[in-house]
Amino acid sequence: MSGPRVLVIDDEAEIGELVVSAAQLCGYNGEAVTNAQDFRAKLADFKPGLLVLDLQLPDIDGVMLLRELAERGSKAKIIIMSGFDSKVVESARQLGIGRGLDIVAMVQKPIRIKELCELLKGMTVEEEVVIDGAAIANGIATNAFWLAFQPKVGLANALNGADMDRPVGFEALLRWQHPNRGFVPPTEFIPVAETSGQMARLTEHVIDMALGQVHAWEQENLFPTVAINVSASDLHATDFADGLVDRCRDYRVKPERLMIELTETATMSDPVLAMDILTRLRIKGFRLSIDDFGTGYSSLVQLQRMPFSELKIDRAFVADCHMSPQARMIIKTMVDLAHNLGLSAIAEGVENNEILETVRELGCDEVQGFGIAKPMPAAEAGAWFRREIEAHEPKVAAAT
């Protein structure tokens, strides 16, 4: 049967079938389940645009189910159906709304078919768009993914003796504009890519886009360094370094134009293999950055052994460093650690001038964040870099 899809979950099969029958009379394609396990399976296969949920279920309560839906990023419309008193149902509704769910109505049991039909007829329901491996593969094939470039600026401070700040490059941030969902955040699609076996293809796509843009900028006489993020799974491919060199050769880009960023935890599952791959990357001319430092579980021994070029201090420490002596102490310790190991120290999440001046005083070498510039499309990024380079060029005194 065609029509908008509705999925009903109620611990009483008879009630579920009753709701489905009413929905079908209103032009819906409906199915009903009685437990959370079947509900999860149907979400993936049936892809409903409307969910009718009972709050009292045999294996999970409705509030927990709402939490699950929020964690999945569900965009389906939701009707809460319950025999509890109206205060309990209203609390559940508010919880759902607070978690970003689209709670469109509440239906009190016992159900009145006429009222339910009137409710359903007045709704506009679209098919739920599921983000899975196939959707990611299609996004790659149709060029729905693109890169935003967040500027990185080198700081003048007492430690390096520079007389002015300078633009150094960008971090390439992956974006996905889904044709039906619109913007899909990386926090949603990256875990799916990793579990569905699409991460290697996605990384290759990022590398191609980044190298293509670096080459285009070089044709315009612009030479920013561009950082790209790689995942733990990329460090399990023994041919990763060779493949990256081949890609650089294809795009006529020197390896030193790229900074490879990875999180602390990316090296944890197989430190020996990670060291093998990272060392080969450094030998071939790539620079390496350890991202979000201070939030993972890597040991200082690993930090000493791995051939990193820079250490990025996580925004969790940077955000309130201008107000928190403890945060400043932690950042100063990280900066000293980085410098003692021969690494540059980069502050992420610099949101305003107070934070900028604080991390400057603490000895950070570079910064990035909304206080410097927001991520921007390639054309805007190139224009920004040119303006900043021209603004920081030494002025030649006129002959007298």
Domain encompassing residue 301: 133-392
What pLDDT is recorded for position 396? 44
Beta bridge partners of 228: 260
List the single range of 179-188, 206-215, 225-234 with lowest mean pLDDT: 179-188
Q: What is the mean pLDDT of the chain?
A: 87
Choosing from 91, 121, 151, the residue where a domain stops is 121
Q: Which residue has the tokens 């199915």?
A: 31
Q: What pLDDT is recorded for position 352?
A: 95
- For every residue of 288-327, which 3-state class applies, written as one string? EEEEEECCCCCCHHHHHHCCCCEEEECHHHHCCCCCCHHH
* 116 and 137 within one domain: no
398 occurs within a structural domain: no
192 and 60, same structural domain? no
pLDDT-derived band at 397, boundaries 50, 70, 90: very low
Taken in order 54, 60, 62, 66, the sign of the CA dihedral is negative
Cα 299 to Cα 329: distance, rounded to the nearest angstrom: 20
In what helix (H) or strand (E) does residue 206 lie, and over which residues does it extend? helix 199-219
pLDDT of residue 373: 95
pLDDT at 361 over 70: yes
For the full predicted model, state whether its pTM sits above 0.95: no
Q: Are 156 and 361 a contacting pair, CB within 8 Å? A: no
Split into its structural domains, the chain has a count of: 2
pLDDT tens for each residue of 99-129: 889 888 888 888 787 878 878 777 765 555 6
Contact 117, 22 (CB under 8 A): yes
Residue ending a domain, among 69, 98, 121, is 121
The verdict on 161 and 106 lying in the same domain is no
Do 158 and 111 lie in one domain? The reply is: no
Task: Kindly report, residue by residue over 312-360, the tens digit of the pLDDT.
Answer: 999 989 999 999 999 999 999 999 999 999 999 999 999 999 999 999 9
Whether residues 275 and 335 fall in one domain: yes
CATH number of the domain where residue 363 is located: 3.20.20.450
Instruction: Give CA–CA dist 346/255, Å, rounded.
Output: 21
